[in-house]
Amino acid sequence: MGVIRIFAKGLAVTFRQMFRPRVTTSYPQEKRVKPQRFHGRHVLNRHPDGMEKCIGCELCAGVCPARCIYVRGADNPPEEPVSPGERYGFIYEINMLRCIFCGLCVEACPTEAITMTQLFEMSVTERDDAIYTRDELLVNPDGSPNHPQPDGPLIDLEELTIADGWMRATASSGRAAYEGIPGWTPSAGVGLRPPEQGQAPGPDQDAGAE
């Protein structure tokens, strides 16, 4: 009788839950809306003229607590410079298996070269495929992103264009002269990104301009 009583209690719990609203979603058909500063896959940005923003300073690799970033800079060729600085990121690799998506690399970058997008579906079958190189990370001259698995059923390449995993606030930082003025640079394909939600550009600023 004790076994039957326990079995009956278990069935009672099951039947009560059967008629309650579901709290799960049908992934990947249904996806939750991500917050604006969501930390997803990285991209390496370009200036509007197509020049690379990365100057090969290696600060992102130095600050990374997971040591998943490998950067080697090289001198810019005088006849065809790659970046506006003296150097550029000749080698740039991120091991996504080690990355903890903390965003410290974005904060350390002095040129806003590396930002984080909203793409997080990056499953691979080979470990080597999880090491993203400069070819996959660097956007094209028109600003369009690259991805090593563009035809995957879960891949939404539009999420790679939402490089919002960093703070864009127009606070004055104690100086009224800079209140409402964007303190970041434009990028290829998107121009000057607008301030994050809750912030406002200055009266003479068109934050969405190319």
Domains of the chain listed by start with CATH number? 42-170 (3.30.70.3270)
Distances (CA, A) of 48 to 51, 99, 139, 189: 7, 29, 12, 7
**pLDDT computed for residue 204 by the predictor:** 53
**pLDDT computed for residue 1 by the predictor:** 61
Tell me the C-alpha distance between 114 and 134, whole Å.
11
Between 15 and 154, the more confident residue is: 15
**pLDDT computed for residue 182 by the predictor:** 85
Per DSSP, which regions of the chain are E strands?
Answer: 42-44, 69-75, 87-95, 114-116, 131-132
> Can you give the pTM of this predicted structure?
0.81
Instruction: Determine which of 60-64, 133-137, 179-183, 200-204 has the lowest per-residue pLDDT on average.
Output: 200-204
Q: For 178-194, what is the mean pLDDT?
A: 87
The amino acid present at 89, given as its one-letter code, is: G
pLDDT at residue 203 tops 60: no
pLDDT at residue 87 tops 90: yes
Share of the chain above pLDDT 70, in %: 90
The amino acid present at 184, given as its one-letter code, is: W
